[in-house]
Structure 1
Amino acid sequence: MRAALFMPIFDDLADPRVLVQLAVEAEDAGWDGVFLWDHVRLSGPVRAAADPWIALAAIAAATSRILIGPMVTPLARRRPVKVARETASLDVLSGGRLTLGVGTGSDEFGHEYSITGEDVDDRTRAEKLDESLEILEAAWSGDEVRHRGRYFTVDGMRFLPRPAQRPGVPVWVGGYRGKVKPLRRAARYQGYFPIGVDSPDHIAEAAAQLTELRRQAGVGDARFDLVASLPADEDPAAYAAAGATWRFTRFPASVTVDQVRGVLRVGP
């Protein structure tokens, strides 16, 4: 099981320079990855927020080994053509260390969608997510992309340079425990980031479902990652036995720099 820091981007951690320094220290301490939340705002006492993509680019330039990525980015509110350029550039910059976490997002944590005029309908966001992923896969191939969908159009465009990784950037799909559609979506890609999982049994349940779904899709032999997001003081051994390949150490939104540093210095 590999280990990563899963860091929020608010208040004390809203300064990209702080996130970069923590990532450098995490790499030196032996962590395998650093992943960032992707929000434009959050409810409650949170006031300041960093842009995760700018921070990830700076982290990529300052580190050489750890895997990086947003976990998860809500593609439904982003233009897939722009994401295709950003992911390819970030993967090249990092030397092939990017993992793209994706999901539909939710309006409940900060009204990020409703107060900015974005779609709040779950079905619409899911359709936009699937269409965006189709465009990203086509763009990462380096071939000419011709896509005319319900929401997006790309009428004859090539996206070069390609990502450093082949055939493209690994995609991990985020989804709430108990929802089947995110599992089916994840089975077509390279990983699953379950939300609302709080026991090894939940991981074992997801692992069994994904194994069957991937068998049905004919991709059962390909590498697939399953994430357990745990607080720093929880033993990951039972989650690893249940099928998790990554342990993400998660923090509350209001975490301080010293609290993150205290965890990362202990090492994975």
Structure 2
Amino acid sequence: MHYGLALPLSGINGSIEHLVDYACAAEAAGWDGVFLEDYLVYWEGAQVTFDPWLALTAIAMRTSRIRLGITVVPLPVRQPWKVAREAVTLDHLSQGRLILGFGLGDLQDSYFGESSDLKQRGAMLDEGLAVLTGLLSGQPFSYQGTYYQVKPLTFQPAPRQQPRIPIWIGGFWPRRAPARRAARWDGFCPAKLAGDGEDGLLTPGDVAAIRRFLLAERGSLEGFDLVAGGSSPQNPVEARSQVLQFAEAGATWWVEFISPSAKEAAGTLHRIQQGPPR
């Protein structure tokens, strides 16, 4: 099991400097990864928003070990060639520590006229992934699709990580389409679709069901990451007990959600400095 932190894209109490400080504290305390979301307007416009690529670059420059990730890039509303260029640059700057997450994107972030049709977004995501991985191959590449066209070219440099930068897919469970898409890549970072009487929090039972589904789709989960996320108790013993249930269910990563609240900042930093709930 690997242990990560999902840091808020609005910074800590609105401060990007504190966000970077928290990431450095996470590396010093033995966490395995820090992850940012990708929004242009965070949390329905109620929060300050920073750019995840620039924030992760700043973190990369002040750390040496911890993995860096975006969970997830809404690829249907980004240019895949621009994302490819940003990704390969950050992969080199971080000495091969980048993890890329991709998804349809939240409709609540659609302020700029993007399509809200989920089927269309799904098709754009699949085409966008084909374009992005083709460009990141370091080999001659061209593409003619419904949504994207690329004239013959070779993107250089290739990523430091080979055969590619790990790609995780995000999406809601129990919808099957995101999990089926994830099975074709390197990992799945699910959120739970809240139903009647449910709070929308992923449970160990959900993780076990997702693992069974992915195993049926792939035949093997060797080298594949299944990510569970949430908040664990402040008490280290209770935190370990909770996270162990997700590990036993088949999760390979536990990602702790970190609040952007100023009121919780001191307690949050203490929680990070306690280290992961191994």
- What TM-score comes out, normalization by structure 1 length? 0.92
Distance 1:121 1:167 in 2: 33
Equivalence map 1:1-268=2 (5 Å): 1-10=1-10, 12=12, 14-43=14-43, 46-107=46-107, 111-113=108-110, 115-196=111-192, 197-215=201-219, 220=220, 222-233=222-233, 234=239, 235-252=242-259, 254=261, 256-268=264-276
CA contact (8 A) 2:10 2:50 kept: yes
Secondary structure of 2:251 counterpart = coil
Aligned length: 260
Distance 1:138 1:253 in 2: 36
**How far did 1:119 drift?**
1.2
**How far did 1:253 drift?**
5.4
Distance 2:181 2:159 in 1: 22
| Bigger Cα displacement from structure 2, 250-259 vs 225-234 | 250-259
Aligned residue identity for 2:158: R
**How far did 1:232 drift?**
2.6
**How far did 1:45 drift?**
7.6
Distance 1:222 1:124 in 2: 31
CA contact (8 A) 1:14 1:50 kept: no
Distance 2:56 2:11 in 1: 17
Segments of 5+ residues of structure 1 without an aligned counterpart are none
Aligned residue identity for 2:250: G
Aligned residue identity for 1:112: D
**How far did 1:73 drift?**
1.1
- Assess, with a 3 A threshold, how the Cα gap between structure 1 residues 171 and 14 changes in structure 2: closer, same or farther: farther
Distance 2:45 2:109 in 1: 15
CA contact (8 A) 2:91 2:98 kept: yes
Distance 2:255 2:221 in 1: 24
Segments of 5+ residues of structure 2 without an aligned counterpart are 193-200, 234-238
CA contact (8 A) 1:232 1:249 kept: yes
Distance 1:92 1:129 in 2: 25
**How far did 1:141 drift?**
1.2
**How far did 1:11 drift?**
5.5
Distance 1:41 1:253 in 2: 15
Query: CA deviation digits over 1:199-239, x for unaligned, max 9?
Result: 11000000011011012xxxx26400001102031520111
Distance 2:168 2:22 in 1: 23
Distance 1:251 1:205 in 2: 26
CA RMSD of aligned residues (A): 1.6
**How far did 1:5 drift?**
0.6
Identical aligned pairs, as a percentage? Answer: 38
